[in-house]
Amino acid sequence: MNPSSESRSIILEHVSKSYREDGSVVHALNDASAEFKRGRLALVLGPSGSGKTTLLSLIAGFTQPTSGAVTVFDTKPTDLPPAKLQLFRAAKIGFIFQNFLLLDWLTVEENVALVAEFAGRNSAVSHARAALERVGISHLAGRYPANLSQGEKQRAAIARACVNNPHLLLADEPTACLESKQGFEIIKILHSIAKDENRCVIAASHDLRLIDYADGIFRLEDGVLKTSGPCATRDSYNN
């Protein structure tokens, strides 16, 4: 496909996800429809257990919807066989996990370079160093995760997610483990990535501090996804 004709959106069409737990059916996501665009930071707000991680996992293709369709830049992850889905995800999607998931036995640089190597990129170490520079921790490249602060671990996780220059960046509770100053620094990095690098950034969180940096606000409660509009503020969300 010609890159100029590629869709700039992630589209959810009546997406539901259900599973059984202790003999009961749990509706983690219920008939969700939404569109997320490149160049924007979208915020999905909701309490723990509301379905935020499920939503991100469906978009990334880690899990399949019970019904409905997810389209990521003209591709439906559910249509891809496992091997092609892994390559698609490596090239197009970066995922920032809630608990960082850095490999303790690798240095920061090696953690980031490993993702570039998996995607088959040449000069993986060079790409890793550029990604670490982008998030301001190039000086920590040789350290191991155990020797990093929580904020530094999150920056390393962002660098790893961005090393292949994906069009889509998914962040699961990116500020949950961080104190106020570190949290704002991470918010600013995510906002800059969306704007300066024309990426679609979707952050799922219960942290209202992110609202002032978001271009679109969605609320997720009990599996139901609602939009609060493109210009929502902290006050309008609280109301």
pLDDT digits (tens, 9 = 90+) for 25-57: 888 899 999 999 999 999 999 888 788 899 999
d(C-alpha 60, C-alpha 42), whole Å? 15
Is 186 within 8 Å of 41 (Cβ atoms)?
no
Strands 168-172 and 24-37: what pairing?
Answer: unpaired
CA distances from 118 to 12, 163, 170, 231 (A): 28, 11, 19, 38
| Both tokens assigned to 192 | 């800059």
Mean pLDDT of the chain: 87
pLDDT tens digits for range 162-179: 999 999 999 999 988 788
Q: What pLDDT does residue 229 have?
A: 54
Q: What pLDDT does residue 238 have?
A: 45
| Predicted confidence band of residue 3 (pLDDT cuts 50, 70, 90) | very low
- Edge-to-edge strands of the sheet including 9-21? 24-37, 9-21, 67-72
pLDDT tens digits for range 226-236: 886 544 334 44
pTM (predicted TM-score)? 0.88
d(C-alpha 142, C-alpha 205), whole Å? 30
d(C-alpha 229, C-alpha 208), whole Å? 15
Is 223 within 8 Å of 27 (Cβ atoms)?
yes
Domains and CATH numbers, the chain: 3-238 (3.40.50.300)
| Low-confidence winner among 58-72, 96-110, 147-161, 178-192 (lowest mean pLDDT) | 178-192
